[in-house]
Amino acid sequence: MGTGRILFRTGLLVLLLSTAIHAQETGPGVSYTISPEIIHEGEPFTVSLVVDYPYSQHITLITPDFNDDISIDRITQFPRSIGGKVYTIIECRLIPGVSGLFTLGEFQITTAGGTAKTEPIILNILSDGKIIFTPQFHWFGAPEQTAAGNRLTLTLQGDNVRPGGERVQYPPPSFFNPEVPKGVILSQAPVSPQERERGIVLKLTLIPLEAGVFNLPARSLQYEGIPLEIPELNIRITERER
């Protein structure tokens, strides 16, 4: 028996309605809940499996096979006391990429006490006409040219309000940190809460050490189902000023 293994086939685990899962006669009791219960395209949701087995490190989870229209963000597994009894909780955070009906086959939980399998589950992922928000990012404080040895502050700012007026909650600045090119000193500068409210997600202090071209290539990131396209940045570096 392996310890703490989670095995994934080609698909991902997704459930829609809160219900109980009937285990095989030799297996543990399993139930689950969904939060939120109504799932929309592009919006993450969490499946929480409650396994009547206290030793989380000795549980193996095998998910059913299905296509890649639903992606998995993370899975966590831990013990929890409920009513004085210890259970294992498996939380799966998922992001549906499309709407429609999906049928999942069984998924399986195996412990030293036996195996539990689900029945096939029909999912109804709703689409209410929402457009997946794609914020626009821009670099500020970057001249076309500067001399080696000069200090610059580079600021990356994104749209801070979604259509409809909802304010965007971006991840911390470290999420946006680029790889440091050769020939420069590049460090993260602090971003104040007021700046984060304005959509500033990253501030960098740049000191180029030699002539050439300072380049940060374009990057494609994703956070909680939101695509984040970071534009390219180029600055021509001349010889040190005398």
Q: Please report the pLDDT score of residue 134 as a whole number.
A: 76
- Pair (103, 149) in one structural domain: no
Tokens of 41: 């395209």
Contacts of 82 (CB under 8 A, 6+ apart): 50
Mean pLDDT of the chain, nearest integer:
80
Q: How far apart are CA 87 and CA 55, in angstroms?
A: 8
- Pair (169, 117) in one structural domain: no
- Pair (85, 143) in one structural domain: no
- Pair (10, 116) in one structural domain: yes
Q: What percent of the chain lies above the pLDDT cut of 70?
A: 78
Is the distance from CB of 68 to CB of 96 less than 8 angstroms? no
Q: Identify the domain containing residue 150 by its residue range.
A: 137-238
Flag whether 119 is in a domain. Answer: yes
Pick 242 or 18 by higher pLDDT. Answer: 242
pTM for this prediction = 0.49
Flag whether 130 is in a domain. Answer: no
Q: Which of 125, 156, 189 is the last residue of a domain?
A: 125
Is the distance from CB of 183 to CB of 177 less than 8 angstroms? no
Q: Please report the pLDDT score of residue 8 as a whole number.
A: 36
Flag whether 132 is in a domain. Answer: no
Q: Which of 66, 99, 125 is the last residue of a domain?
A: 125
Q: Which of 81, 105, 125 is the last residue of a domain?
A: 125
pLDDT digits (tens, 9 = 90+) for 119-171: 666 667 887 655 556 788 999 999 999 999 999 999 999 987 765 566 778 88
Flag whether 109 is in a domain. Answer: yes
* pLDDT tier at 40, thresholds 50, 70, 90: confident
- Pair (209, 107) in one structural domain: no
- Pair (113, 209) in one structural domain: no
Core vs surface per residue 168-193: b (16+ CB within 10 A) or e: bebeebeebeeeeeeebebeeeebee
Going across the sheet that includes 70-82, the strands are 19-21, 30-35, 45-51, 85-96, 70-82
- Pair (102, 34) in one structural domain: yes
- Pair (115, 10) in one structural domain: yes
Tell me which residue of 172, 182, 227, 231 sits closest to 208, measured CA to CA: 182
Domain containing residue 53: CATH number: 2.60.40.10
Q: Please report the pLDDT score of residue 66 as a whole number.
A: 59
In whole angstroms, how far apart are CA 186 and each of 13, 206, 210? 41, 5, 13
- Pair (22, 96) in one structural domain: yes
- Pair (121, 10) in one structural domain: yes
Highest mean pLDDT among 41-45, 68-72, 73-77, 229-233: 229-233
* pLDDT tier at 4, thresholds 50, 70, 90: very low
Flag whether 227 is in a domain. Answer: yes
Bond into 120 cis (ω within 30): no
Q: 1: helix, coil or strand? A: coil
Q: How far is CA 54 from the centre of its chain?
A: 28
Number of domains comprising the chain: 2
pLDDT at 109 over 80: yes
